[in-house]
Amino acid sequence: MICVPIVEESVEKALISAERALEVADIVEFRVDYFKEIREEDIVEIAKYPSIITIRAHWEGGKYRGSDDKRIELYKVAIENNVRYIDVELKEKRNRELVDFRDNVNSKTKIVISYHNFKETPSYNKLLDIVNKELQIGDIGKFATMVNNNRDILNVLRVIQEFEGKVIGIGMGKKGKLTRILGTYFGSILTFASMENKSSAPGQIDVEMLKEIYRLISES
C-alpha cells in the first residue's frame, strides 16, 4: 500500500491535493499539524477520505504547537467519524486514552502508535523493544528512523519482517530510500511516497517513480 502525505496549510488545499493523490495512491496521510487553523468540522470532512489523520506534535518533529487537550479532542473527533487510521506518538502520555475512547464508542478507527528518530536508527534489539511497546498500546506499530549506513537498512528491514503485517517501518534520508522500496515486501503495511515535490520526511520517493520501480520489479 502506498500512502501520500498531504502537507498543505489549509483544509481546502489539502482536499484538492488528496483528490489528486488518490488517483495514484491507495491512501493519504493528512498532516493536520501543517494547517494554519484546525477546526473540528475540518476533521469531520477529511475523515471521509481513505486516510491517516496525523497531528504531529512539535516535540516529535511536527508543526503542532497548540494545547495537548485540543489535539486529543481533535483525534477523538476523527475516531468518532471512523477515519481509517490516526497516528499518535509513543511518547504521547494520553495515547491509551485514545485507544480506550475508540473502544468505548465502537469506532472502526485503527490506531497507529509511532516513534521517530531524525538522527539515527537504534539497534535491532532497541527497535524490537520500541515496536513491542507500541503494539501493547495500539493496533499498529510505526517507526521512522534516520539511516546512516547499510547496517541501519538491514535492521529496519529485519524489524519489519519480525512484525510482518503489524508494523509500518521506514528508514529516512537518502540512504534509507531502499527501505521505502522494499519495506512492503518485508511486511510493512504501507510506504510513504511524495507527490509534486511535497514531502513530510527526508528521503520520500516520488509516487510515480515508486510505482514504476514496483512495476519493473514485478516484471523482472
140 forms beta bridges with 112
SS3 96: helix
Q: Mean pLDDT per segment of 10 residues, for the chain of length 220 residues? A: 94 95 96 94 96 96 93 98 98 97 97 97 98 98 97 97 97 94 96 81 83 85
Q: What is the pLDDT of residue 202?
A: 67
Binding residues: 29-31, 56, 180, 200, 204
| Burial state string for 25-58 with b = 16 or more CB within 10 A and e = fewer than 16 | bebbbbbbbbbeebeeebbebbbebebbbbbbbe
List the catalytic residue out of 116, 119, 166, 177: 116
- Among 199, 190, 201, 138, which Cα is nearest to 160's? 190
Q: Check if 116 is active-site.
A: yes
In order of start, what are the domains of the chain with their CATH numbers? 2-111+176-219 (3.20.20.70)
Q: Check if 70 is active-site.
A: no
SS3 115: strand
Q: What is the pLDDT of residue 196?
A: 78
pTM of the model: 0.93
Binding residues for 3-dehydroquinate: 29-31, 56, 180, 200, 204
Return the C-alpha cell found at 99: 485507544
